[in-house]
Amino acid sequence: MARHARSLLMKRALVVIAALAAVQIQASPAGAQEGAASRQSAYTSLEDCTVVETAAEEAGYSRSECPGLGGYRLEYVVADARDNLVVVAPDGREESLRLPSLMGGAFSTIGTTIEWRGAVAAGSLRPDALIVRYDAFQDPERPERPTSYLLVIALEGTPCLAARIPPAEGQNEAARIAADGAMRCLE
């Protein structure tokens, strides 16, 4: 029993360390709690996307346009069994997140739920971050068991991958902490 408790404590400690490594909170603890409390999440689904292009001869390539929030939209791209997102900013600028290459090139899938994170202004969410589930099939010995990361995407400026939260207890909370902190691109 003591061994199980130690293992659980180690997992929790790793989640906290991962969250702190991904985020540099540049406010006082009271300010950080206050800022996090005013931030909210809203959700969209990749199931609501419209397929706009396919090319079966290119390893099942498809590109879909997806609704977003706060003037943002997404493009969901599948090519060679690897999923990617393109962020379309309110001004029409498009930025590929290059998730397959940033995550090691393994076969991958993106979860259907997109979490948009930001502050509420004038009654609507002004997103500055996305949280997406990214399943990477990294272990060739166990191709049926993906590693399920939560990726935090910074939207302001040039959208980019800002944090990669590994699977562990408290993974969702760690991703929100990263999304609510000062974000920098990982590349």
What residue ranges do the domains of the chain occupy?
2-180
Residue 23 scores a pLDDT above 80: no
110 burial via Cβ count (<10 Å: 0-12, 13-18, 19+): buried
Q: pLDDT digits over 157-183, tens only?
A: 999 999 999 999 999 999 999 999 999
Strand partners, 137: 107
Q: Rounded to whole angstroms, what are the CA distances from 36 to 29, 76, 114, 133, 152?
A: 11, 29, 19, 21, 16
| pTM of this structure | 0.79
More confident call, 144 vs 68: 68
Mean pLDDT score across all residues of the chain: 82
Q: pLDDT digits over 88-138, tens only?
A: 999 999 999 999 888 888 889 999 999 999 999 888 999 999 999 999 988
